[in-house]
Amino acid sequence: QVQLAESGGGLVQAGGSLRLSCAASGIIFRAYRMGWYRQAPGKQRELVALSPNIGVPNYADSVKGRFTLSRDNAKNTVYLQMNSLKPEDTAVYYCNVRIGTFDHWGQGTQVTVSS
């Protein structure tokens, strides 16, 4: 059974930083692309960053240069370091892995950036 557990969200002032973590279980972690998505109130869920199992991550234009995705295959964990946070980054952040045609999601972690 695939399980994804996010942590690290919270309330931060604009310009601050947070580090999100997503611990995965039930999969051969190193074999899969891992992603971070976010959903703000009243908006659709959007891609933030993707980490391929091999290669460099890619990012949404809105977070390039501010967010960094990394993964530790030994710990089955993917991270999202978020710097220079803006109020528009406020959202619930979700970890994702696609296996075949099925998307697995964590429960999400709230990030709130105050101005």
Q: Is 48 left (phi over 0), alpha (psi -120 to 50) or beta?
A: alpha
> With 80 as the cut, is the pLDDT of residue 70 above it?
yes
Q: Which helix (H) or strand (E) holds 33?
A: none
Q: What is the model's pLDDT at position 27?
A: 87
Which residue(s) pair with 30 in the sheet? none
Write down the pLDDT at residue 75.
96
15-63 residue pLDDT tens: 999 999 999 999 888 889 999 999 999 999 999 999 887 788 999 999 9
The CA angle 110-10-68, to the nearest 5 degrees, is: 80
What mean pLDDT is reported for the chain?
Answer: 95
| Predicted pLDDT at 29 | 87
Give the per-residue pLDDT at 111. 98
- 64: amino acid identity, one letter: K
Percent of the chain with pLDDT over 70: 100
pLDDT at residue number 30: 87
